[in-house]
Structure 1
Amino acid sequence: MEREVDVIVIGGGPVGENAADRARAAGLEVVLVERELVGGECSYWACIPSKTLLRSAAALRAAQRVDGAKQAVTGGLDVRAVLARRDYWVSDWSDQGGADWLESIGVGLERGHGRLDGVRRVVVERAGGDMVVYRARHAVIVATGTDPVIPPIDGLAESRPWTSREATSVTAPPTRLVVIGGGVTGVEMATAFAGFGTEVTVLARSGLLSGMEPFAGEAVANGLRGLGASVRLDAAVERVERTTADEVVVTLAGGETVTADEVLVATGRRPRSERLGLETIGLEPGDWVAVDDTMLATHADGNAERPWLYAVGDLNHRALLTHQGKYQARAVGDLVAARTLGRPEETAPWGAHVATADHSAVPQVVFAEPEAVSVGLTAAAAERDGRDIRVADVSFASVSGAGIHADGYEGQARLVVDAGRGTVVGATFVGSDVAELLQSATIAIVGEVPVDRLWHAVPAFPTMSEVWLRLLEALGRPGTADAAASADGDADEADESDEAAA
């Protein structure tokens, strides 16, 4: 027997939850399928626990940077208390709260592994082995996320490496930890464990945070070294061997070895789609699911004649970030409801039912030491996009609010401006506690606010936001000769940035 509902959501992380919530709020009958915990990777093994593990040491360092406060810091980090706080924020890995919330909004929960079995048909294998079949009257939304990649390094898979799950659910920090990878996960976990007092070695094939402006990765590498970590760039790992239960040996190209208690692999993610039944609808199992701006799967059987399959979050490979996935999910839930109920579809750029910002304004925060945050395009990416750009670079040393925030504050900010349109297309801030500056940059990009208009957005004094005034001054005051001179200088700086990125 098959049970019919309006919408089936496969994947109960934050992305799937948002899609289900929006569709249900419109009055549709929705069932959500989840094989593990409602709340997904982000809630239990990624965003929430990782940031909780990072926060206590970051707060301690912040106090130590302010004279008068640092004298009050007489002890070290209480690691046991940090882990207990992490346990609270992940609800001791219980998803009862999530399940109760779904019930409260009227979304059905089906626990088990869901897979597609033809157009609008989903088979769920429950934990006990029973099978139940659902058919969607209108739509199936897949939000199954990603899994960590274990690269084909000799001996690595057999060495029982950590992934982000083991790192964020740790019960006792190891004495020595090797981190393979210089991306966001590798950097953040290296920062967290260095804060615990672990002897951390980071092995990166190139620089750190390669998707950001070069100065961001350089600052984070220096910050990790300041925490006592070893950061090895251009390091190629040839072999990993677990010699005992408590020891693993990593061999680099050239024969040098690094010995640790654990090795954390943070070299990327792959789509969780191998067992999703994609082959039953003309797609390739194990692949990312390509979508258009409405998140409609572009090559699935039957989608052209009657749209029914949508892929949101990491699975569509547009922006592997929880907040962007939730943004997509809100648009999709509303769109499915509009199509089902015959309401107007707003699918033009910046319409309610599309994810336009995934092309132009994806914000990201790296909770490292220091924080590195960005939104939009880097200078190099903007030039590759064929844009005529102006770049403004300033040091936070010129910002009074930064100096008051912390003694000897160090940090850097960059704006990338499309010279032809006169609008900001990219922003990067590096420094302690700069994450809260990011939303203003995101609004400037999404709103396509002319730079000349930004001069009238007066930052309060003395706050960190004063950096915006310094950036505008670096671009040159509008309607004056120094604006043209600044544009010439910024073009030279952008060329240098491209060389550094290359």
Structure 2
Amino acid sequence: MSSADEKTYDVVVMGAGSTGENVADVVVRGGLSAVLVEEHLVGGECSYYACMPSKALLRGTEAIEEARAVKGAAAAVTGEQDVAATLERRDSFTHDWDDSSQVQWVEGAGIDLVRGTARLTGDRTVVVTRADGGETTLTARHAVAVCTGSEAAVPPVEGLPGAQPWTPREATSAKEAPRRLLVIGGGYVGCEMSFAWSALGSQVTLFQQGDRLLPGAEPQAGDAVLASLRDRGVDVRLDSEVRAARREDDEVVLATAEGEVRGDEVLVAVGRRARTTGIGVDAVGLEPGEYLDVDDTLQVRGLPWLYGVGDVNGRRLLTHMGKYQARQAAAAIVARARGEEASGADWSPHAATADRAATPSVVFTDPQVASVGLTSAQAQEQDLPHRVVEYPIGSVAGASLFADGYEGTAIAVVDTEREVLLGVTFVGPAVAELLHAATVAVVGEVPIARLWHAVPAYPTVSEIWLRLLETWRG
């Protein structure tokens, strides 16, 4: 270290979200030094604007509805949800957007933290502009890990920026329910936030440009979520294109083919884009705004000292996959620092597909949608020999005990040549807890013949596995 404004570490990590934290933690435990650079909150999107606050907003509604679905317990639900208490509970998970506890963890893990905006300026060099305007130059002996994540994409709708739209950040941190909320986009975020805010008092109108919700999931999932949203009074408009937007005083006005629609706030939930603009990737020959092209060790192709980990590489934009990739990248960094081969042996041959063909995800709507691996459409697109097996979850004893009139569907996509699962989707109340068993089966390519001997406990919802296998056998 030559001065207070010039520091050298084994690894410099740009971005202190959950992905960056895990990269730094693993390399430090591997005997290297590491520094995290963060311009906002340590802990990132998941902790403050995504996974945790959004699920906290949804959980109260879910708990009430689970009680109402059981005769006897339903009689105890005599009032409506306390919106203020729900928002207060949400705030407790974000620590009121205070990252002190996360900073304490970083320090306790032996990781340094530099606050400010980071940009690459050359080979293994990162310059941080601090809040006071000063700069700190960080040099990495071995690696720089870009963990800057992704940000909400805003579609090119005329006037939309001037309409002051919500992104998921505003949707999960709002201090009160807007009277009328307009939602553009029927994917995971659009559906979850429509459920959350409609239950908390907003009149929600959801615009989906395509002909179904959750277009990347099995069709049954989108159909079930659509029916549930409409039952709750959400105005869902399929095949509806928002052509223009404007703000008039305290109102947002959206122009569609059907006419103008007015609301108090508009949430844009049409996807994400790489957060690689303004971080200096052009200084090392990369294109700002593009996802980083990486190999299976998360090393950026052509730059052996640079790693792109988590959302920033575009492989799977999910917190748990970012953490998974972080462990993978950090193991490679440590191995290479020791002069060892980063062969990937530590994470097995399945790692190359874990964040492509075997990614688990949950949509926390009612019904929940829990899925892993390929859908039937994806198997068809890849020309894989397959057969689709379905079974109503409500037909198993555990489901009928869980809720009166339980409705749900289990869908398995089976490779007919190898007789292993390519993908599994569950649609129904509380099905998220079924997902990890499916993930183990898909990632492990467990033969159907062996799954037959994994006997589910009776009476649990997991008995659906037995029914799926029986249906497969015919």
Which TM-score applies when normalising by structure 1? Answer: 0.92
1:241-256 aligned within 5 A: 241-245=246-250, 247-254=251-258, 256=259
Is residue 20 of structure 1 aligned with residue 24 of structure 2?
Answer: yes
Superposition misfits of 4+ residues, deviation over 4 angstroms: 352-355
Is residue 297 of structure 1 aligned with residue 318 of structure 2?
Answer: no
Asked if structure 1 preserves the Cα contact closer than 8 Å seen for 2:185 and 2:208, the reply is yes
In structure 1, what residue type is equivalent to 2:68? Q
SS of aligned partner of 2:21: helix
Tell me the CA shift for residue 380 of structure 1: 1.1
String of CA shifts for 1:30-57, please: whole Å, max 9, x gaps: 0110010000011001111000000001
Match of 2:272 among 258, 269, 274: 269
In structure 2, what residue type is equivalent to 1:362? T
Determine the structure 2 residue equivalent to 1:329: 326
Tell me the CA shift for residue 343 of structure 1: 4.0
String of CA shifts for 1:445-493, please: whole Å, max 9, x gaps: 11110011111010111111011111111111xxxxx4xxxxxxxxxxx
In structure 1, what residue type is equivalent to 2:291? W
Match of 2:348 among 342, 347, 351: 351
Is residue 182 of structure 1 aligned with residue 179 of structure 2?
Answer: no
Determine the structure 2 residue equivalent to 1:91: 95
Tell me the CA shift for residue 112 of structure 1: 0.4
SS of aligned partner of 2:356: helix
String of CA shifts for 1:87-145, please: whole Å, max 9, x gaps: 11001111111111111111000000111111101000001110010110000001001
Tell me the CA shift for residue 390 of structure 1: 1.4
Determine the structure 1 residue equivalent to 2:72: 68
Asked if structure 1 preserves the Cα contact closer than 8 Å seen for 2:198 and 2:204, the reply is yes
Asked if structure 2 preserves the Cα contact closer than 8 Å seen for 1:224 and 1:231, the reply is yes
Quote the Cα distance in structure 1 between the aligned partners of 2:244 and 2:109: 51
Match of 1:124 among 98, 107, 128: 128
SS of aligned partner of 1:92: helix
SS of aligned partner of 1:80: helix
Match of 2:263 among 234, 238, 260: 260
Tell me the CA shift for residue 360 of structure 1: 2.1
1:350-369 aligned within 5 A: 350-351=347-348, 355-369=352-366
Quote the Cα distance in structure 1 between the aligned partners of 2:292 and 2:413: 31
Quote the Cα distance in structure 2 between the aligned partners of 1:358 and 1:133: 33
Is residue 160 of structure 1 aligned with residue 157 of structure 2?
Answer: no
Asked if structure 2 preserves the Cα contact closer than 8 Å seen for 1:297 and 1:310, the reply is yes
Match of 1:393 among 390, 393, 401: 390
Match of 1:432 among 426, 429, 433: 429
SS of aligned partner of 2:462: helix
1:338-487 aligned within 5 A: 338-347=335-344, 350-351=347-348, 355-476=352-473, 482=474
Quote the Cα distance in structure 2 between the aligned partners of 1:35 and 1:86: 23
Asked if structure 2 preserves the Cα contact closer than 8 Å seen for 1:293 and 1:356, the reply is no
Quote the Cα distance in structure 2 between the aligned partners of 1:233 and 1:356: 33
Tell me the CA shift for residue 351 of structure 1: 2.5
SS of aligned partner of 1:117: strand
String of CA shifts for 1:308-336, please: whole Å, max 9, x gaps: 10001100000000000100001111111
Asked if structure 1 preserves the Cα contact closer than 8 Å seen for 2:328 and 2:347, the reply is no
SS of aligned partner of 1:345: coil
Is residue 3 of structure 1 aligned with residue 30 of structure 2?
Answer: no
Tell me the CA shift for residue 4 of structure 1: 1.3
Tell me the CA shift for residue 349 of structure 1: 9.4
Asked if structure 2 preserves the Cα contact closer than 8 Å seen for 1:143 and 1:311, the reply is yes
Match of 2:243 among 238, 243, 257: 238
Quote the Cα distance in structure 2 between the aligned partners of 1:284 and 1:399: 52
- Give % identity: 51
SS of aligned partner of 2:122: coil
Quote the Cα distance in structure 2 between the aligned partners of 1:37 and 1:213: 36
The aligned length equals 469
Tell me the CA shift for residue 211 of structure 1: 0.7
Asked if structure 2 preserves the Cα contact closer than 8 Å seen for 1:144 and 1:315, the reply is yes
Tell me the CA shift for residue 348 of structure 1: 5.1
Is residue 41 of structure 1 aligned with residue 45 of structure 2?
Answer: yes
Asked if structure 2 preserves the Cα contact closer than 8 Å seen for 1:375 and 1:442, the reply is yes
Tell me the CA shift for residue 354 of structure 1: 5.0
Structure 1 residues not aligned, in runs of 5+:
477-481, 483-502
Quote the Cα distance in structure 2 between the aligned partners of 1:403 and 1:78: 29
In structure 2, what residue type is equivalent to 1:211? G
Asked if structure 2 preserves the Cα contact closer than 8 Å seen for 1:396 and 1:467, the reply is yes
1:179 to 1:363, Cα distance in 2 relative to 1, 3 A: same
In structure 2, what residue type is equivalent to 1:244? D
Which TM-score applies when normalising by structure 2? Answer: 0.97
SS of aligned partner of 2:290: coil
Is residue 212 of structure 1 aligned with residue 217 of structure 2?
Answer: yes
Tell me the CA shift for residue 29 of structure 1: 0.7
Asked if structure 1 preserves the Cα contact closer than 8 Å seen for 2:297 and 2:342, the reply is no
String of CA shifts for 1:189-240, please: whole Å, max 9, x gaps: 0010011121111100111111100110110011111222111110111111
Determine the structure 2 residue equivalent to 1:497: none
SS of aligned partner of 1:141: strand
Asked if structure 2 preserves the Cα contact closer than 8 Å seen for 1:140 and 1:309, the reply is yes
In structure 1, what residue type is equivalent to 2:189? T
In structure 2, what residue type is equivalent to 1:467? I
Tell me the CA shift for residue 344 of structure 1: 4.8
Quote the Cα distance in structure 2 between the aligned partners of 1:379 and 1:354: 22
Select between 148-157 and 404-413 the one with higher mean Cα deviation: 148-157
Is residue 285 of structure 1 aligned with residue 288 of structure 2?
Answer: yes
In structure 1, what residue type is equivalent to 2:91? D
Structure 2 residues not aligned, in runs of 5+:
none
Quote the Cα distance in structure 1 between the aligned partners of 2:275 and 2:120: 13
Quote the Cα distance in structure 2 between the aligned partners of 1:63 and 1:457: 31
Quote the Cα distance in structure 2 between the aligned partners of 1:323 and 1:219: 26
Quote the Cα distance in structure 1 between the aligned partners of 2:376 and 2:72: 40
Asked if structure 2 preserves the Cα contact closer than 8 Å seen for 1:294 and 1:354, the reply is no
Quote the Cα distance in structure 1 between the aligned partners of 2:192 and 2:186: 10
String of CA shifts for 1:260-287, please: whole Å, max 9, x gaps: 1111110111111111111111111111
